[in-house]
A and B are shown apart, each in its own frame.
Chain A
Amino acid sequence: MVMGDLVVEVDVAVVGGGPGGYSAAFRCAELGLEAVVVDATARLGGACLFEGCIPSKALLHVAAVLDAAERAKEFGVDFGAPRVALEPLRRWKTERVVGKLARGLASVAKAKGVEVVAGRAVFEGSRELRVEGETPQKIRFKHAILATGAAPSPLPGLERAGDRVLDSTAALALADVPGRLLVVGGGYIGLELGQVYAALGSAVTLVEMLDGLLPGVDRDLVQPLARRAEKQFASILLGTRVVALSEAGGAVEAQLSSGETLVVDRVLVAVGRRPQSAGLGLETTRAAVDARGVVAVDERCRTADPYVFAVGDVTGEPMLAHRAMRQGKVAAEVIAGRPSAFDNAAVPAVVFTDPEVAWCGLTEAEAAREGRAVTIARFPWAASGRAATLGRADGLTKLVADPESGRVLGVGLVGPGAGELVAEAALAVEAALTVEDLAATIHAHPTLSETLMEAAETLLRRA
């Protein structure tokens, strides 16, 4: 790096230190390219580590422990009523989980020679960016990788509703456990955080605009989760919108499209995330940004500007950390002249609720929408020995295959541990394995993974 008048010259400037950004920077370093990461928080990890995937999963683990203790009564073990102390819980989440991982990332960056620059990056053309912050500087780059992620969308029309209205970031900070919590949005964030707060003792009401939870996901996968959530939550109101929110006397009044008025202590708004592409000076580059803020990229993660690449949530759906990480590596490899492409057939999606819902590849709903002929096998976990020993028979494993070739095109799972099981499914779809390949592979007994083999065998018997 050449310093002089605070103009820094690098091979690759990575804007944003989340999973997409740090994966890209690390891969650049491995390929011999000098890379710096510009991040407003001056640390690596992004929304995923500090206000998303990791802290929510830590809290969901706590919810699962509470739930397991409760369920233990079924087989004669009674721990008594749990007492939750918020301060130690917050400390554990922030220091032992998030803090430890953040220190790990920082040390990897150091070992690989990736510098993290604190500040806000603003593009000044296709070869240079300005860093605003404590030490303003300019970075001249041969290539830039935009990885600025996404932020929670506010409720349309209700952007300024006060401190008692939380987004997912605020909810994960766990300021308190409200007696009554209204969750707006029945997507994965609303359901995950709704279950966390329900387990910690809140009476949760969930409102979803559409007529089902997890819109877009196959209904048979959602059903076991919906049934469980109905028991955990005070109520679930489908086909309902929040039309007005007002704070009054330490509570929030929510007016619903049904005409009903709810009085709650806090409101969590989880109505999706939108790309963060505004205010970055992208208009000084040739990168194309659409009306929703999505930066258009091709298979090699190139924007319309030959010097600017983009990865992760800022490039649109599916907004998932693991997609961003793969894209980050692809962008770095393409910049290094390697024949890399983000051409993955399977981007696994996991909803870390109880039960977990996971899928990858072609879903049944997509096949129906595209009019594509598929064969489908469902294996209910009621027939799984392992599920019985866990006291959880509410799961389902579903295989979507091509009727002609027998190739596995997609897999859907619901049940405890579905998020881990989807790994095998993703491998099968990505490597274009056939149903026969799955059926003929030995799966350890008794495990939940056997359900994939069983579903495959069901299809083979039918053929």
Chain B
Amino acid sequence: MTRTFALPDLGEGLTEAEIVRVLVAEGDVVAEDAPLLEVETDKATVEIPSPMSGRVATIHVHPGDTVRVGAALVTFEDAGAPSTAPRAGDAPPPRPAPPPAAVRSAAAPAPPAAGPVPATPATRRLARELGVDLRAVRGSGPGGRVTDDDVRASAGAPAAAPPRTLAAPEHPAVARPLATVGAAPAPLPRFEQWGPVERQPLSHLRRTIAERMTLAATLIPHVTHLDRADVTDLDALIQRSLEAGRARGVTLTLTSFLLKAAALALGEHPRFNASLDPAAGELIVKRYCHLGVAVATERGLIVPVLRDVDRKPLLEVQRELTALAARVREGKATLEDLHGGCFTITNLGALGGTGAIPIINYPEVAILGVARARLEPVVRDGRIEPRMLLPLTLTFDHRVADGADGARFAAAIVRRLEAPEQLLLGW
């Protein structure tokens, strides 16, 4: 039996991936779950395991190809059962396939095994209108049917995904332009007139970052609140605990304290643990607390997500953070690692600087930028003391919160960083 394996649904929002490496060759016999391909999605490099055992008959992709969810990757011969074993109960006994109908003049190419996406024709039209790839949308209707609401939700805020004008002869260009939001950019000058230039195509990750940052910066009215936390005690605590932590296999870092402080502050100010739904005129407040941490990698910025930071003890947060950051740097993060964040922390302290004003990680409401902590002269009780101060920049969506809200939320984070033993206790 021949079976074609298509690029599976990679999770929310991901509609395409770039093939990095093909790990099998045509003719290879592979076992179920053996690595087939390495793909780079919006955020991570992921190995795609074989869904079945069998002989690789045809490989439909090459490194460098960008493929959409549902596109054929590999065709297997003598394919065994797929890993998502179907219920056998009501399945018909396999019949020999009838011979091709020779009396017909032509056979249509076989549709992908996955079949059409369950949605009414009107919903499918809406998806095309909003530029939404239906295969990447999870259906909420009966039997997994994709509804109009699912499509609209997937399209994000109306302004976020402007309907692509489907001009009649729309043929894909060799180099794809970035999706634009709002006004089209003015044409570039011919730089060649001033000197030689080199044109470098954007990597998949670079393109994603560019599009998402443009979206956030264009769509969200950003406002930034500046504050500083006195982390003298926290720094001392970390220094004191380093030895004890190492003995337990944990290296305490400032970032885990920042995560814990932010999680507890978010519980106090749920407006910042939210997403705005402009179409519905509603604020979607999250009853969970997954926090993103910006990680710089050789390929670009990646934001892995730690789950339920509010409910985990600090040592557990630190352990997960260390493991997660390592996975991301090695390009081995799973898609699960990269989705579902509520709020993001970007700590540039290791690189110096006196402060940075980050752009919100859409569709979150706020992001906390952290620069390097420095010893500074501080007046305390009428005397000048050297204290360790940590510059914080809280950037947030002014549609959702006002300056006073931001100041209070930032103060809640500062208050916790200044009482580090409470963070260890999870207060």
Report B426 CB to chain A, min CB distance, Å.
41
Closest to A409 in B: B115
A334 in contact with B168 (CB, 8 Å): yes
B108 in contact with A406 (CB, 8 Å): no
A430 to B99, CA, bound (A): 28
A316 in contact with B128 (CB, 8 Å): no
B108 in contact with A369 (CB, 8 Å): no
Residue B382 at the chain A interface, CB threshold 8 Å:
no
Of residues 185 to 200 in A, which have CB atoms within 8 Å of B's CB atoms?
185-187
A406 contact from B98, B129, B143, Cβ within 8 A: B143
Of residues 1 to 16 in B, which have CB atoms within 8 Å of A's CB atoms?
1, 3
Report B142 CB to chain A, min CB distance, Å.
5
Residue B113 at the chain A interface, CB threshold 8 Å:
yes
- Give the B interface residue count (CB, 8 A): 48
A122 to B118, CA, bound (A): 41
Query: Across the interface, which residues of B come within 8 angstroms of A293, CB to CB?
Result: 105-106
A212 to B98, CA, bound (A): 9
B143 in contact with A372 (CB, 8 Å): no
A210 in contact with B120 (CB, 8 Å): no
Residue B188 at the chain A interface, CB threshold 8 Å:
no
Residue B116 at the chain A interface, CB threshold 8 Å:
yes
B113 in contact with A372 (CB, 8 Å): yes
A306 in contact with B95 (CB, 8 Å): no
Task: Report if A365-B97 is in contact (Cβ < 8 Å); known contacts: A371-B79, A405-B143, A431-B120.
Answer: yes
Of residues 59 to 105 in B, which have CB atoms within 8 Å of A's CB atoms?
79, 82, 86-92, 94-95, 97-99, 101-105
Residue B145 at the chain A interface, CB threshold 8 Å:
yes
A333 to B283, CA, bound (A): 38
20 sampled A-B residue pairs with Cβ under 8 A: A187-B103, A209-B103, A210-B98, A210-B103, A215-B101, A272-B105, A274-B105, A317-B106, A317-B108, A343-B116, A370-B113, A371-B3, A371-B94, A403-B91, A405-B118, A406-B142, A430-B120, A431-B121, A434-B142, A462-B90
Query: Across the interface, which residues of B come within 8 angstroms of A187, CB to CB?
Result: 101, 103-104
Query: Across the interface, which residues of B come within 8 angstroms of A372, CB to CB?
Result: 86, 113, 115
B92 in contact with A374 (CB, 8 Å): yes
A436 in contact with B142 (CB, 8 Å): yes
Query: Across the interface, which residues of A come within 8 angstroms of B87, CB to CB?
Result: 373, 403-404
Number of A-B contacts (CB under 8 A): 150
* Residue interface bits A340-378, CB-to-B below 8 A is 1, else 0: 110111000000000000000010110111111111100
Q: For B3, B98, B113, B144, which residue has the most chain A Cβ atoms within 10 angstroms? A: B98
Closest to B118 in A: A432
B106 in contact with A143 (CB, 8 Å): no
B103 contact from A272, A335, A345, Cβ within 8 A: A272
B90 contact from A337, A376, A436, Cβ within 8 A: A376
Report A148 CB to chain B, min CB distance, Å.
14
Query: Across the interface, which residues of A come within 8 angstroms of B92, CB to CB?
Result: 364, 367-368, 374, 376
- Give the A interface residue count (CB, 8 A): 67
A215 in contact with B98 (CB, 8 Å): yes
Residue A136 at the chain B interface, CB threshold 8 Å:
no
Residue A228 at the chain B interface, CB threshold 8 Å:
no
Chain B interface, >50% SS class: loop
A451 to B86, CA, bound (A): 27
Report B342 CB to chain A, min CB distance, Å.
30
A318 in contact with B108 (CB, 8 Å): yes
**Residues of chain A whose beta carbon lies under 8 Å from any beta carbon of chain B:** 143, 150, 153, 185-187, 208-210, 212, 215-216, 270-275, 292-294, 302, 306-307, 316-319, 334-341, 343-345, 362, 364-365, 367-376, 402-407, 409, 430-434, 436-437, 462
B106 in contact with A338 (CB, 8 Å): no
Closest to B96 in A: A368
Closest to A241 in B: B102
B121 in contact with A292 (CB, 8 Å): no
B124 in contact with A341 (CB, 8 Å): yes
B99 in contact with A373 (CB, 8 Å): no
Task: Report if A209-B102 is in contact (Cβ < 8 Å); known contacts: A318-B108, A372-B113, A403-B87.
Answer: yes
Query: Across the interface, which residues of B come within 8 angstroms of A404, CB to CB?
Result: 87
Query: Across the interface, which residues of B come within 8 angstroms of A364, CB to CB?
Result: 92
A253 to B76, CA, bound (A): 48
Query: Across the interface, which residues of B come within 8 angstroms of A365, CB to CB?
Result: 95, 97-98
Report B198 CB to chain A, min CB distance, Å.
30
A339 in contact with B120 (CB, 8 Å): no
Query: Across the interface, which residues of B come within 8 angstroms of A370, CB to CB?
Result: 3, 113
Task: Report if A374-B91 is in contact (Cβ < 8 Å); known contacts: A317-B104, A339-B125, A432-B145.
Answer: yes
Q: Give the 8 A-B CB pairs with smallest separation, nearest first.
A: A373-B86, A306-B169, A432-B118, A405-B143, A339-B128, A375-B90, A345-B116, A407-B143
